[in-house]
Amino acid sequence: MAQKSVKRLWTKLHKIFNTARGTSLGWTIKTITPVLRGWRNYYRPDDRKKYWEEMDERIRHHLRKLIWIAWKKPKTRERNLVKLGIDPERAWKSSVNGRGA
């Protein structure tokens, strides 16, 4: 894969991720799916598994960041983290850590 092509893909994805703030996660996924599917189909012969795993990690990171941004207040973040099964004390520390998404 050419580095220029990868850079172009991430530029396109970052535009989508930045405009996705304030929208639903479903909309974001629906928007990035055709981009990723087309890119993956074009580069299908390239079977470097590690590269695709790294790209998957980065995309999931951005999606988690969008969820974190949507939970605007620390109390909301704490409540939702507890719902996801995190210890209440750790959820509170995570919700007010100040390091952002």
Report pLDDT for 2.
73
- What are 13-65's pLDDT values in tens digits? 989 988 887 788 889 999 999 998 988 888 777 777 787 888 889 899 999 88
Domain-wise residue ranges, the chain: 3-69, 71-101
Report pLDDT for 82.
95
Report pLDDT for 1.
65
Tell me how far apart the alpha carbons of residues 97 and 82 are, in angstroms, rounded to a whole number.
Answer: 16
Q: How many CA atoms lie less than 13 Å away from 100 in the CB half-sphere? A: 4
- What are 55-92's pLDDT values in tens digits? 889 899 999 888 888 888 999 999 999 999 999 999 99
Tell me how far apart the alpha carbons of residues 62 and 66 are, in angstroms, rounded to a whole number.
Answer: 6
Tokens, residue 86: 């995190």
